[in-house]
Structure 1
Amino acid sequence: MTTNETPETTGMTDDEKRRDQLLAAPGAVEEDAAPRVDVTERAGGVTRIDIRDDAAVRPGDPTKDPEA
């Protein structure tokens, strides 16, 4: 989004903007825009963020085998 654009003028939801940004890179494929986290709002203002099991990219040490 440029400095003079606002969420109201883009006409895009946050998810649409995220997808648009992730697919803008050269060589990007649809999988690059796949969701990687699930966000759940709970009682008392608690927000839970979980890494999806099917996320292609996961946090952790890239030098270790995740299956080990």
Structure 2
Amino acid sequence: MSRLAKNEILYNRLVPFEEIEENLEAVTGKGIQQWVNSVFKAESLALEVLGPINKTDIKVDIRKI
């Protein structure tokens, strides 16, 4: 019943399992990477560190990411 309600609210129709399966199979690693790059832009990221830290160690660790 939950699936029916979600489909009706979000799509105003019942989405067949075949359509869901097709959409899932269409997902690619490249597509995921493009989405990640569009969401997580370096200029909009922030870092907060709590506790005693060594600034040099933090800079080294960030560069690894």
Tell me the TM-score normalized by structure 1: 0.25
Higher relative contact order, structure no. (Cα contacts within 8 Å, ≥ 6 residues apart): 1
In terms of Rg, which structure is larger? 2
The answer to which structure has the higher helix fraction is 2
Tell me the TM-score normalized by structure 2: 0.26
